[in-house]
Structure 1
Amino acid sequence: MTTPLKILITGEHGQVSRELQQRLQNLGELIVLGRNQLDLANVDQIRQQVRAHRPDLIINAAAHTAVDQAESEPDAAFTINAIAPGVLAEQAKALGIPLIHYSTDYVFDGSKTAPYTEADTPNPLGIYGQSKLAGEQAIVAVGGEYLILRTSWVYSNHGKNFLLTLQRLLQEKPHMRIVADQIGAPTWAGTIANSTRALIERWQAGQAGDWGVYHLTGQGETSWFGFAQAIGEHLRAEGKACAELEAIPSSAYPTPAKRPLNSRLDCSHLQQQWQVSQPQWHDALRECLAEQH
């Protein structure tokens, strides 16, 4: 029997946090803190909360994730995505406990033709990616036991994300133009939470791999257009209205923040070190959609 853990989770209402709350319940006591109790922009509050609760593990599932908005509010993005993770790492190290933190494909510029490995040099294109990379660097600088899990194209049945937006728009509009030259892996927040649980269980069982930076996404690859097609197929299978889809290049859909054209992350290192792997992205999508009923 493993001892019940006291796990502090940030970002109460976020996509990944909500899935973690559901999937980690029977591992022990979950201390889930939203912005009211733990504002990541407030360094003193971060320290106070960690010291008050004295958890066995910290999972930082909160972030400034509004990619385009970050371009116009870099200070907010850097405070939450860069400074806060460093403070959480300091507190975790002081308590002698691990920190699990989520990062992003946006730390890369997308110019590589193959999937990115953890050995590739980051080169973020915009403020969001820069702030997330600075957060990774802050954690690495502190040291201690940490897992930085880079993921991509996160969606779930909660919050604002591509899946929910597309499900609505595909039924409202007759025609939709979707970017087809950005390639990556849609990753269900449930997949991230399941993998996080598997990592925690291996650590608890004394079978931890090396601490450090890892890639964690759905397996396989597609474009945003391909992802939209998969969502549309499901709507049609349910007899619902679905817009006609048109593939367009990124240049036809300008956004404040530039997106990497290649967001593919090689996740084999996590499998080798921790024996934790992810399902195919379309299988995970099917599972996520099944939970809507």
Structure 2
Amino acid sequence: MKILVFGKDGQLGKAFHAALSDCNLGLAKQLNIQYLGRSQCDLTSEQAIANMLDQFGPELIINASAYTAVDKAETEADLAFAVNARAPELMARYAAQYGATFLHFSTDYVFDGEKYGFYLENDLRNPLGVYGKSKMAGEEAIAKAFSKVANQLPGVGSQYAILRTSWVYGDGGNFIRTILRLAKDREELKVIEDQYGVPASAQWLAQVSLNLVMYSHGALREFPSGIYHAVPAGETSWHGLASLAVQAALEAGAALKLTPKAIKPIPAIEYPLPASRPMNSRMSTDKLHQVFEGRGDMSKLRLLNKPWDEAVRVYVHNVVQDGLN
């Protein structure tokens, strides 16, 4: 099977590379995978994207690329929409037309965060900033591309999954690494306590995504096309995440000046940023659960139900062992 992965240099792209490289030998021989970064494909160039798709002819397209500079997006709207909306639209058109499977990732930022409780996939989207608006436009463009082809070519077996996630961390710059870096030199930090969500490991997200679209032997699976929320179990705040990360680092032997008790909780209003963030980013994963439950695969359900804090502790331990940079 031919797999084309966009965004190889990002946290999620690296996680897919690791996940697909860890496949058993028999499966690995069946996979023809091409990874693309900025130097291989300019996602602001429609021609570059079209050429890559036409030349490789993928059966599975994984779009792990995204413009994620939330605050810079307020002044770089054209770039944000080019990468987050137009590029995935072109990928979706190709997948829909040629019967491929398309895997795309979106964000909690498509919501305004005013809902009480956990967001469902069909809840009203009302992004607060340009980043969220560009990701919402990408979601809409993908659904429209597949719907159009389904009406014109009803026999084509294309399918897509848009996985909305939040607070991603992995191999690269992220909130947890920032906190740990600051904790080496500071004896006190102030972190927002009234924005809630779920940290998602890029490694976890890549594996859950592959479980949705592929069999363990490498063939593509059928699934209901649409949007799925994909986050681990539980919830926390930015302050809760920072406190756990520092505690886990200390337990792993890191030399830090900061302790969890010295992380002061503050309201978001005291830490103004160019782009507004949703106060509530909690998302229900019931829809994804139903798919895995319908397949009767308990190992996939156990992964989906993994608590967010367990993954963070493992991640921090590995970061400390590799050296805090």
TM tier, smaller = over 0.9
CA distance in 1, matches of 2:41, 2:215: 28
1:149-164 to 2 correspondence within 5 Å? 149-156=163-170, 158-164=171-177
Query: CA–CA distance in 2 between the matches of 1:239 and 1:160?
Result: 19
Of 119, 140, 143, which aligns to 1:137? 140
Aligned to 2:204: 191
Equivalent residue letter for 1:125? L
Aligned to 2:193: 180
Q: Secondary structure at the match of 1:149?
A: strand
Distance 1:93 1:74, change over 3 A: same
Distance 1:279 1:202 in 2: 21
Q: TM-score, normalised by structure 1?
A: 0.94
- Of 162, 165, 182 in structure 1, the residue corresponding to residue 178 of structure 2 is 165
Q: In the alignment, residue 63 of structure 1 is paired with which amino acid?
A: A
Match in the other structure for 1:214: 228
Task: Give the alignment's TM-score, normalised by structure 2.
Answer: 0.85
Q: Counterpart of 1:224?
A: 238
What is aligned with 1:38?
A: 41
SS at 1:172's partner residue?
coil
Separation in 1, partners of 2:315, 2:58: 30
1:200 and 1:290 map into 2 onto residues whose CA distance is 30
* Residue 290 (structure 1) shift: 3.8
1:106 aligns with 2:104: no
Percentage of matched positions with identical amino acids = 39
The residue that corresponds to 1:20 in the other structure is 16
Unaligned runs of 5+ in 2: 147-157, 294-299
Q: How much has 1:205 moved relative to structure 2?
A: 5.8
Kept in 1: contact 2:249–2:317 (CA 8 A):
no
1:55 to 29, 53, 58: 58
For 1:279, the equivalent position in structure 2 comes to 306
Structure 1 CA distance for aligned equivalents of residues 135 and 318 of structure 2: 30
User: What is the Cα deviation at residue 260 of structure 1?
Assistant: 0.2
Q: Which secondary structure does the structure 1 equivalent of 2:71 belong to?
A: helix
Deviation at 1:239, TM superposition (A): 5.0
Write the distance in 2 (CA, Å) between the matches of 1:224 and 1:206: 37
Q: Which has the larger radius of gyration?
A: 2
Equivalent position SS for 2:61: strand
What's the CA shift for 1:274? 3.4
Return the alpha-carbon distance in structure 1 between the equivalents of residues 194 and 160 of structure 2. 34
Q: Which amino acid aligns with 1:181?
A: D
* Per-residue deviation, 1:241: 1.5
> Do residues 234 (structure 1) and 248 (structure 2) align?
yes
Contact kept? 1:155, 1:187, Cα under 8 Å? yes
Amino acid at match of 1:258: S
Name the counterpart of 1:291: 318
* Residue type at the aligned position of 2:131: Y
Does structure 2 retain, via aligned residues, the 8 Å contact 1:81–1:131?
Answer: yes
AA aligned opposite 2:255? K
Q: Which amino acid aligns with 2:55?
A: A
2: CA distance, partners of 1:273 / 1:142:
23
